[in-house]
A = this chain, B = another copy of it.
Amino acid sequence: MDQGNEEMDVKTRLKEMSAELDGPIKSYIDDERPSNLIEACRQYPYAGGKRMRPSMVVAACRAVGGDASKAVPLAVAIEYIHNFTLVHDDLMDGDEKRRGMTTSHILYGMPTAILAGDALFAKAFDIISDLDIPSDAMRKVLKTVSVAVWDLARGQQMDVNNENSGTVSMEDYIETIRLKTSVLFAAGAAGGAIIGGADDSTVKAVHEYAMNLGVAFQMYDDILGIYGDPEKTGKSAGNDIRKGKNTVMVCHARDTIKDENVLNEFMSVFGKLDATDSEIEKARRILKESGSYDYAIEMAEKYTKDAISRLDCLKDSDDKEFMKALAEYSMSRDV
């Protein structure tokens, strides 16, 4: 099977799973008072998206031989947690748009955006308390997810700190994306495996799979933020350069470029909010010539391979293949 077909397959499968999860995702937020908070809670999770995280929860459960229907509520909870972090993120970043949609704090105001995030977070744990599995297993899921959200907040703070910091080491960059991106993927996948009845070593393997996948996913996201097609990503081209976002490529460029003039040329555009398109183009070219782009691709490939190898302990199944394909997809997508 060539890469093109494989990618199409995983996209099709993701769409199918996303469609299956759509109903459940829209079934946990009842019509209660006050209506503006309820609307704000629904806005992000109801808007769709790739639904990679909840799909992974269900796939992991089935891949270890479990009953997928029991994992669906956790899939919803993980999606709510992901969306709660997006609502708060958009407010912190002052972003007015997310994939063409007006962001929560712009639409509903700052207090409601804060409360909608908090409420989605609470609802996720309410859903976890109702999981139809033995209470000992539920306790393990709760532990995994609550630690993940703690780590996630740490990762987001490190991200904020990195933006305000001149230089970020490669080590710090990777630690940041492990915390801000990987841990929630990993909690979802591990939670799915726990619900599926996997033993501790299998749960750990699935957790590591998703940790590595998350790093590859975020590295590729950073590549898309600089080289992606704005039509597809919904972000203006080179935005991450204008914002001065520290990525694997920027860390590599700083460590690698020996010619001071070239490095200064790059740094004069990096973080320049009003950089022209031709300046952005120049910065992009420098990152390619320094080998930083290739390095980022290599690194993302390495993490993807690492992710896939963790699944060796699972019996062959459609869901195992889907999980492998998800890892490949996390660095072949165009959005």
Contacts and interface: CB of A to CB of B under 8 A. Distances in A.
Interface of A: 32-34, 36-37, 84-85, 88, 91-92, 110-112, 114-119, 121-123, 125-126, 128-130, 134-136, 138-139, 142-143, 145-147, 149-150, 152-154, 156-158, 160-161, 175
Contact of A32 (B91, B139, B154): B154
A52 B146 CA distance: 25
Contacts of A147: 122, 126
Given A135-B136, A135-B139, A154 B117 contact: no
A128 B157 contact: no
B91 A157 contact: no
A160 B119 contact: no
A28 to B, nearest CB: 11
A37 B92 CA distance: 14
A49 to B, nearest CB: 21
B128 A142 contact: yes
Contacts of A33: 154, 158, 175
Contact of A157 (B37, B85, B92, B154): B37
Contact of A112 (B85, B138, B160): B160
Contacts of A36: 157, 161
| Interface-centre pick from A32, A33, A150, A156 (highest chain B CB count, 10 A) | A150
A33 to B, nearest CB: 7
B118 A154 contact: no
A150 B126 contact: yes
A176 to B, nearest CB: 9
12 contacts: A32-B154, A34-B161, A37-B154, A88-B118, A118-B118, A118-B121, A118-B153, A119-B150, A125-B149, A134-B135, A135-B136, A142-B142
